[in-house]
Structure 1
């Protein structure tokens, strides 16, 4: 089996830009607003000086001393708490996504994932299935779900947090779509039930965190449970026409680990690609933002 090892970054996205990175921070433009946030992998020096960063920034995120996972936004210029960002690729995929500044540093969007939205769009448009079934696990605010729905798929979107599922609904509605199936549940419990029911999907998207909790306190630890989850996904994937995308953000994982996990659990892995997702700032510094493994049989 031949695999391609790639480094992928989004191209031609007018509404988003990574401006600068360094000093454990990143400076990004989302539409007309510029945010600065902590970034643990940006261990090099900034290209712009501190005054330049401050002059460009609308809001800056500061972590809490006693809880590095939480913090607060400090507004330096007038900025709404909620706003929208458009995404359009060269293949006709169009989405409108809702952003908001949360106490967890995130704003409801991972821009590096645009390369996977394009992959979903390209795959579904080529798949000779009238209405492909797609399952998005750990789906967060659902840009991948919206991308699949925009291409005519029958989409099931699952996340353990009710608030982000509501956020995902807003993204679907803002994009002029409807009909996504929303599930608030523990991902492992759900796919075990799906296997027992004998359900099948043409596409499965997994974006698991390193650590997490289900709606009833179920514990998720990536390195302990991802192997079992992929075994179950192998039972859920349609044989003749299918795709799978696995994203992982654990700093200790490489795409070779992802490749070993997938290849050991799936009998047939076609057109496989794995590697790093990254963004490039104005000064050509590449910021790594996770690993991926994906394959498809169209």
Structure 2
């Protein structure tokens, strides 16, 4: 399995400053965030005083007197220099786009920088077929970094997420980038949508999947990755063109990428090029932070 470290040359607006003690200190543009990180099992390299001096906001998930928190939601402690939302720019190898970031109750900001290597892959796959304007479906698409990369390569993108507010956020990101084409916006349960597309006979040249371990659809549909991933891959296989690519990200710590490779081989027939990888972000203090695995598969006639 390959290991892909975040390319600092294309990420001038992002830096992992330090990590450790189950936390990370990151710079997004001019904003420095202090957040929990379950993978950072080692000790901090910078002194705690340096973390306190540098950060603009800190996300707290643990219980605090007088504040009712759940395991999913927390609060942001803000310094006077904190911003609620702010823009950053991704300068890819051959393309670029802007993204709007903002503080959410779940501790996210609308961007997972480690995904940029997948953005580069998606762009190149689409670019290779740009004369036919390939169709790309982005499932569990969040705020749309992968959608923007596909659009930059020349694809017609269908962007799907089950949360309307998230799709609105992704649309705002598209509007920040006038040089990119319009997209199709879908608020729907991903598996239900894919099954409906299969019944209609619609097919795609590329499909991007970034499923959560757990979730809910727009009508309360329950999603558990381990229980539904087989059906998802099987259904996705039915809406792929003969020449196609698939990118699948895994953040579930209990699900091996080898399992997904088995499912892909079972359900997607033909001559496949399959790559398994782990996304890693190096910190400025030396430690490498693993942030999920991925599978990329391309199929040619």
CA distance in 2 between counterparts of 1:96 and 1:268 reads: 37
Q: 1:174 and 2:179 equivalent?
A: no
Residue number in structure 2 paired with 1:97: 99
Preserved contact between residue 88 and residue 94 of structure 1 (Cα < 8 Å): yes
Residue number in structure 1 paired with 2:141: 139
Residue number in structure 2 paired with 1:6: 2
CA distance in 2 between counterparts of 1:252 and 1:141 reads: 25
Preserved contact between residue 25 and residue 34 of structure 2 (Cα < 8 Å): yes
Shift >2 Å, 4+ stretches: 268-271
Preserved contact between residue 203 and residue 242 of structure 1 (Cα < 8 Å): yes
What is the CA distance between 1:271 and its match in structure 2? 2.2
Preserved contact between residue 130 and residue 154 of structure 2 (Cα < 8 Å): no
Which deviations, in whole Å up to 9, do the C-alpha atoms of 1:60-89 show, x marking residues without a partner?
001152412101111124122110110011
Residue number in structure 2 paired with 1:238: 241
CA distance in 2 between counterparts of 1:188 and 1:210 reads: 14
SS at match of 2:208: strand
**Counterpart mapping for 1:77-156 below 5 A:** 77-90=80-93, 92-127=94-129, 129-156=131-158
- CA RMSD of the aligned region, Å? 1.2
Preserved contact between residue 130 and residue 155 of structure 2 (Cα < 8 Å): no
What is the CA distance between 1:50 and its match in structure 2? 0.6
Which residue, 194, 200, 203 being the options, matches 1:197? 200
Preserved contact between residue 270 and residue 299 of structure 2 (Cα < 8 Å): no
Residue number in structure 1 paired with 2:285: 283
CA distance in 1 between counterparts of 2:182 and 2:106 reads: 29
Which residue, 5, 19, 22 being the options, matches 2:17? 19
Which deviations, in whole Å up to 9, do the C-alpha atoms of 1:86-130 show, x marking residues without a partner?
00112x211100100111000000010001000011111122642
CA distance in 2 between counterparts of 1:278 and 1:37 reads: 17
Size of the alignment, in residue pairs? Answer: 292
Which residue, 265, 270, 292 being the options, matches 1:268? 270
SS at match of 1:107: coil
CA distance in 1 between counterparts of 2:101 and 2:144 reads: 12
Unaligned runs of 5+ in 1: none
SS at match of 1:140: coil
What is the CA distance between 1:28 and its match in structure 2? 0.4
1:220–1:269 Cα change, 3 Å: farther
SS at match of 1:220: strand
1:270–1:32 Cα change, 3 Å: same
Preserved contact between residue 37 and residue 61 of structure 1 (Cα < 8 Å): yes
Normalised TM-score (structure 1): 0.95
Unaligned runs of 5+ in 2: 64-68
What is the CA distance between 1:18 and its match in structure 2? 0.6
Q: 1:54 and 2:56 equivalent?
A: no
What is the CA distance between 1:10 and its match in structure 2? 2.1
Residue number in structure 1 paired with 2:209: 206
Normalised TM-score (structure 2): 0.94
CA distance in 1 between counterparts of 2:171 and 2:265 reads: 34
Preserved contact between residue 269 and residue 295 of structure 1 (Cα < 8 Å): no
Preserved contact between residue 133 and residue 201 of structure 1 (Cα < 8 Å): yes
Residue number in structure 2 paired with 1:63: 61
